[in-house]
Amino acid sequence: MIGVLAPLPVLLPLLGAAAALLVGRHSRLQRTVSIVVLTAVVAVSVALLLIADANGAAAVAVGDWPVPVAIMLVVDRLSALMLIVASTVGLGVLVFAVGQGTADGDDENTPLSIFHPTFLVLIAGVSYAFLAGDLFNLYVGFEVLLTSSYVLLTMGGSAPRIRAGITYVVVSLLSSLLFLASIGLVYAATGTVNLAQLAGRLGDLPAGTQLLLHSMLLIAFAIKAAVFPLSAWLPDSYPTAPAPVTAVFAGLLTKVGVYAIIRTQTLLFPDGALDDVLMWAALATMLIGILGAVAQGDIRRLLSFTLVSHIGYMVFGIALGSAAGLAGAIFYVVHHIAIQTTLFLVAGLIERRGGTMAVDRLGGLATASPLLAVLFFVPAMNLAGIPPFSGFIGKAGLLGAGIADGGWGAYVLVGGAVVTSLLTLVAMSRVWTRAFWRPPAQAPAADTAAAAARDAGPDDGPDEAPPGTDEPDDDTPDDETADVAEPAGGATSTTQARRTGRRGAWARHVAVATAAPEGGDGRPSGGDEDREPSLQPLPGVMTAATAVMVALTVGLTVIAGPLYGMTDRAARDLLDRTPYIEAVYGEEADR
């Protein structure tokens, strides 16, 4: 049974991507194919989790090659749990994207014919990374998801997205290069890249060689997981993407890196040589990330910094190296995937409803849309760790594991975790009080070009504004600004053409940002006291998908007891290592 089911979380999305490409001109059929495929992946993932929890780890040799030459797919409690969470979140985001495409009419900024197959390939890469039984195929899984993420991140081709995409691509390629070099060195030192075989061979290497290989792998995975100080790329990369893309990136991509760290620390290097380094990295990640979040005025950037910050909680549990610490880390990974994805979906609804992501320019959303207020408030409090939500349960488990450790480093981490949780509450409360609770009349009017620049991004403005002003000189008529000086030979200067185009976009953007709102009679209102926010209705499918995701986050609280029991069993298997090795080789096999 496991031999049939194990490859399906990878094969189904790949086949679905091919089918989605074939029917790309029929958007409704393409959406149906994508949703059916991901629903099937969720069902298969549930079956794998039930089998792994009941019978223990199991492995499949793809192509019927002998071990360790074969491509191994290994299903244990950890990988199966990650599969079901990833596929469920992926399905929720996909439905949200379908609703967004329907609401926006599939315009050129929402190319769903490209989105659907690329999204399915991303899910296939994530699934393959979770199931891979050797380092090289773990690398392949990373590259599959990263290649598709490059397309998703730059979808629409706007300047901010391309700029963020370049940063993301460069950082990802550097981490992948380091990962590949590490794989080469591991193979040179041990003669294998099979994880089960490496568990027996790495311990025979000199301590210095082990430390070098361990450090290289950990750095590569820490970049992908956005662990401080290797996390600076994330806040500038994620906020520019479309809402569904940002949501799935925030929920899944960094967690694949966290999964790789867990697998490496427990299976390959169980001696804990770098646990102290991980502890300090966890503390810095939590504090630096949340301080960055508190300083943000844009909701998506704020959530991006909280994403970085709460990676520190997971690294905290891994660094402890105990069963309680690992159980808390795994539980928090599950919680955080669901919560962070949901919050980014809610952020997409806030932008659609209020027309901006700037907290200082929003107001009155709780009155204008009580449902949206509830959809934000519940996961926000969950992220902050307010009882009785799953965020509180996960943090309590990690804090308890830290106190049980008894070391002074663990106590410092416990203190840092408490401070981070309090500052998360401050950041979430700030968004709530300003965007939702504050009356709209108290929100400052968007009456300067500087406010428009914050929303539009630096590339949307002119190269240079007149001294002493916040906006470009608008004295020149549009027909004159359209004239571009031509150099000798009649060829239009590319630089001047680009500058003119940016100035035209800037002028249009400033005109929208500075326009007085209309009153009920169609005329501009008299002043800020009469100003109402330009609110747009929320599409039903997008709102329903987000509501289901919020319900899912609340459901984690309901099933917290059984779920924590499963994560505890998964943690004990990880520390034992025997179940994983025996699943690959069998009890009597020569390792």
- Choose between 367 and 238: higher pLDDT: 367
pLDDT of residue 112: 56
pLDDT of residue 378: 94
DSSP character string of 321-379? -SHHHHHHHHHHHHHHHHHHHHHHHHHHHHHHHHS--BGGG---HHHH-HHHHHHHHHH
Checking if the pLDDT of 443 tops 70, the result is: no
Secondary structure (3-state) at 416: helix
Q: Which amino acid is at 176?
A: S
Other residues' Cβ atoms within 10 Å of the Cβ of residue 527: 10
pLDDT of residue 421: 94
pLDDT of residue 467: 37
Q: Which amino acid is at 500?
A: T
- Choose between 68 and 345: higher pLDDT: 345
Q: Sorting pLDDT into bands at 50, 70 and 90, what band is 498? A: low
Q: Which of 67-71, 139-143, 294-298, 367-371 has the highest mean pLDDT?
A: 139-143
Element (DSSP H or E) covering residue 62 = strand 58-62
Query: pLDDT for 124-133, tens place per residue?
Result: 999 999 999 9
Q: Sorting pLDDT into bands at 50, 70 and 90, what band is 588? A: very low
Non-local CB neighbours of 162 within 8 Å, separated by 6+ positions: 154
pLDDT of residue 356: 81
pLDDT of residue 255: 93
The average pLDDT across 343-354 equals 89
The average pLDDT across 162-181 equals 87
- Cα separation, 38 vs 8, in Å, equals 11
DSSP character string of 502-567? HHHHHHHHHHHHHPPPB-TTSSBPSSGGG------PPPHHHHHHHHHHHHHHHHHHHTHHHHHHHH
Please give the mean pLDDT across all residues of the chain: 81
pLDDT of residue 368: 84
Contact 455, 476 (CB under 8 A): no
- Choose between 38 and 369: higher pLDDT: 38
pLDDT of residue 550: 94
Checking if the pLDDT of 171 tops 70, the result is: yes
- Cα separation, 212 vs 209, in Å, equals 5
Query: pLDDT for 235-272, tens place per residue?
Result: 877 777 788 888 888 889 899 999 999 999 999 998 87
Checking if the pLDDT of 102 tops 70, the result is: no
pLDDT of residue 487: 43
pLDDT of residue 465: 39
- Cα separation, 179 vs 193, in Å, equals 12
CB under 8 Å, gap of 24 or more: what pairs does 413-419 form? 413/279, 413/282, 413/283, 413/316, 413/319, 416/282, 416/283, 416/286, 416/287, 416/312, 417/286, 417/312, 417/313, 417/316, 419/286, 419/287, 419/290
Query: pLDDT for 515-564, tens place per residue?
Result: 433 333 333 333 333 344 455 677 788 899 999 999 999 999 999 999 99
Contact 409, 279 (CB under 8 A): yes
Query: pLDDT for 444-474, tens place per residue?
Result: 554 444 444 444 444 443 333 333 333 344 4
Query: Positive or negative, the Cα torsion across 420, 421, 422, 426?
Result: positive
Checking if the pLDDT of 166 tops 90, the result is: no
pLDDT of residue 6: 86
Query: pLDDT for 407-433, tens place per residue?
Result: 888 899 999 999 999 999 999 999 999
Q: How far apart are the first and last CA of the chain?
A: 25
Closest CA to 124 of 149, 146, 141, 147: 141
Q: Which amino acid is at 70?
A: A
Least confident of 246-260, 341-355, 494-508: 494-508
Q: Sorting pLDDT into bands at 50, 70 and 90, what band is 15? A: very high
Encoding tokens for residue 281?
């990295």
Cα–Cα distances in angstroms (integers) from residue 406 to residues 17, 162, 326, 414, in the given order: 50, 48, 16, 11
Q: Which amino acid is at 447?
A: D
Query: pLDDT for 191-222, tens place per residue?
Result: 999 999 999 899 889 999 999 999 999 999 99
